[in-house]
Amino acid sequence: MKLGFLIYSYFPYGGQQRDFHRIVQVCVERGHQVVVYTLKWQGDLLDGATIKFVPNSSISRLGRYRHFTQWVHNDLKDDPCDVVIGFNKMPGLDVYFAADPCFADKAENQRGLYYRFTSRYRHFKKYEEAVFASDNKTRVLILSSLQRKAFEKYYPDCGARMYQVPPGIDRDRMVTDAAPVIRKKFRKEFNLKDSDLLIIQIGSGFKVKGVSRSIRAIAALPDDIRRRVKYFLVGQDKPNRYRKLANQLGIEDRFTVLPGRDDIPRFLLGADLLLHPAYSESAGYVLLEATISGLPVLTTSTCGYAGHIEKAGSGLVCDEPFEQTQLNEKLVEILTSPEREQWINNGLEYGKQEELYSLAKVATDFIEQFGQEAQVS
């Protein structure tokens, strides 16, 4: 089949982008013709796929998105695809890969009332309704039961069009016999003593990932623990406001910001805790990546994959609604608990489950199924 993939922006380090990359690779390997439409691309191009860059001179983000939608619509009329798959919500999709959480839910629970009178709200609500409203037929690939619950709350008739796919963790996150050597070299490189406690947070989009929550929790640690802690933040975003907060709370010497990078497995092996108190996240691959690496996790229940942490017994999960004091308490617990070795072993055992790695295959199976059904009808 000829498959059209739509994604506003691609860079190598985002969870959405990595899922997109994996699925496109499997589609190409299965012999499908793949055309990708995008506004912006960072990193290597995809072997076997045609990349169409949508020209756009709009100075506003909403203007660029509206132009993207219209330009792609016109191009597909002249050069149609059998299935059109979007990784962002927009009109005209046959399949939407739900890498993002429910916008209506975020607008109601994470924004003030005034937000609903903005052009930004109107745009994203309209584009979400173009996928989920009852008069649409777009199939939706979701990542977690948390997403299903949110979408069905705001769009009650969409349930029959949603299909859950398993995680798609990279197998290079799994622990090998070389792990102790890698950990030792990593900690030497970053001047970490054996007594140091390295907390890492990984992910782009620092606000939604709850970086300010992490900084406050670390600042609230008892003195004897805080003096041992180093906090590495790894990802793509503007860090200045978080450096300022760390300075205000007196932990600027504990705090290091590093850009997005390809050697994340080293960080998972070299650290002592993954801290991920996100406000909202459809999945949260790093939670599972840490788990199968044997790294204990502290996260929030608003992450789609937080359920895996509870199921695996590989760390602790904060309740919803979020309370900073609970995160502070759980951070002390997870850094000092004698259960640490059990959390490590539980995670390593959980990593042996085959379904944790099969997202791209299952998603491609669904895309092929939807395309075949459309051809028959």
Number of residues assigned to the chain: 377
C-alpha span between 244 and 248 (Å, rounded): 6
Architecture per CATH, 2-166+358-376: 3-Layer(aba) Sandwich (3.40)
So what's the pLDDT on residue 96?
A: 98
C-alpha span between 209 and 201 (Å, rounded): 9
Q: 10-residue block means of pLDDT along the chain (377 residues)? A: 97 89 97 98 93 92 96 97 98 96 92 93 97 95 95 96 95 88 97 97 94 98 97 95 98 95 94 96 93 97 95 97 97 96 96 94 98 88
C-alpha span between 77 and 32 (Å, rounded): 20
Tokens coding 96: 């939407």
Topology at the third CATH level for domain 171-353: Rossmann fold (3.40.50)
Tokens coding 182: 């890698």
Closest CA to 62 of 129, 124, 125, 126: 124
Give Cβ neighbours of residue 302 (< 8 Å, ≥ 6 apart): 146, 278, 279, 280, 281, 320, 322
Strands (E), 311-359: 315-318
Angle in degrees, CA 37, 38, 39, rounded to 5: 145
Closest CA to 291 of 275, 315, 270: 315
Angle in degrees, CA 167, 171, 177, rounded to 5: 140
DSSP notation for 165-231: ------GGGS--TTHHHHHHHHHHHTT--TT-EEEEEE-S-TTTTTHHHHHHHHHTS-HHHHTTEEE
Query: Which ranges in the chain are annotated with CATH 3.40.50.2000?
Result: 2-166+358-376, 171-353
- Asked whether the whole model's pTM tops 0.75, one would answer yes
Tokens coding 224: 């004897």
Closest CA to 142 of 104, 89, 90, 92: 89
